[in-house]
Amino acid sequence: MSLHLGDIAPDFSQDSTVGPIEFHKWIGNHWAVLFSHPADYTPVCTTELGSVARLMEEFKRRDVKVLAVSVDPVSTHKEWIKDIDDTQKTHVEFPILGDQDRKVSTLYDMIHPRQSDTLTVRSVFIIDPKKVIRTILTYPASTGRDFGEIFRIIDSLQLTDRYSVATPANWRSGDDVVISPAIKDKAALGAKFPKGYKEIRPYLRMTPYPGP
Ligand code: BEZ
């Protein structure tokens, strides 16, 4: 099944390093990042999971729960976590699904047969509290993810949900933003964007960061 932005994230039950997880119930009223890694005891994945563990405060600040997926069993994950903690100087406390039956990997199309028949690629799904898929990213096994980019996307999604704006190329939280072209009524702009705005073209209007 191919998943698209705007779809409801498929629900599932699967065992994990912290016990069985019912996905929608586990998300609750939070945001979630579901991300796959190809296999346990692999070098790039070891650095990725270590990075995510170190970044947990940044995820929590954004109200985001993190769930990793791997097609290896929970028993192997638990042994591997000791290695991750030791080599990356972290404490992996977020759950890793034991997806050896490939239930979740298949549901989320994380196995790309021209890459590998059995291992997942590096997929990332950003899911909002209504369980809607807001972002899908796919990286090859040989490329470790940039988690700063994932925070940048979450910051953009959370900001653009609150204000009628979009974020331009290379935007970082705090930078100027683009006013949605859907707002045509010039009189409304002053009230909506009290920090003012600059009209570079009628379709390209910039305003200072609208958040607090
Ligand atoms: C890794 O995580 O290091 C890795 C996994 C599969 C293929 C290549 C690298």
Summarize pLDDT for 123-137 with one digit per residue, the tens.
Answer: 999 999 999 999 999
What pLDDT digit, counting tens, does each position of 53-107 carry? 999 999 999 999 999 999 999 999 999 999 999 999 999 999 999 999 999 999 9
Pocket of ligand 1 (CB under 6 A): 38-39, 42-45, 141-142
Cα atoms found within 13 Å of the Cα of residue 202, Cβ hemisphere only: 4
Same domain, 181 and 111: no
Residue 207 has pLDDT above 90, yes or no: yes
Give the pLDDT band of residue 188 (cuts 50, 70, 90).
Answer: confident
CATH number, domain of 80, equals 3.40.30.10
From 95, 110, 144, give the residue that closes a domain: 144
How far away, in angstroms, is 172 Cα from ligand 1 center?
29
Q: Above pLDDT 70, what percent of the chain? A: 100
The total of structural domains in the chain comes to: 2
Secondary structure (DSSP) of 110-142 = ---TTT-SSS--EEEEEE-TT-BEEEEEEE-TT
Same domain, 109 and 177: no
Give the pair of three-digit tokens for residue 126: 């950003």
Same domain, 111 and 195: no
- List, by residue number, the catalytic residues: 45
For residue 48, give the amino acid letter: E
The domain in which residue 181 lies consists of: 163-207
How far away, in angstroms, is 168 Cα from ligand 1 center?
33
Report the greatest alpha carbon distance in the chain: 62
DSSP state of 163: S
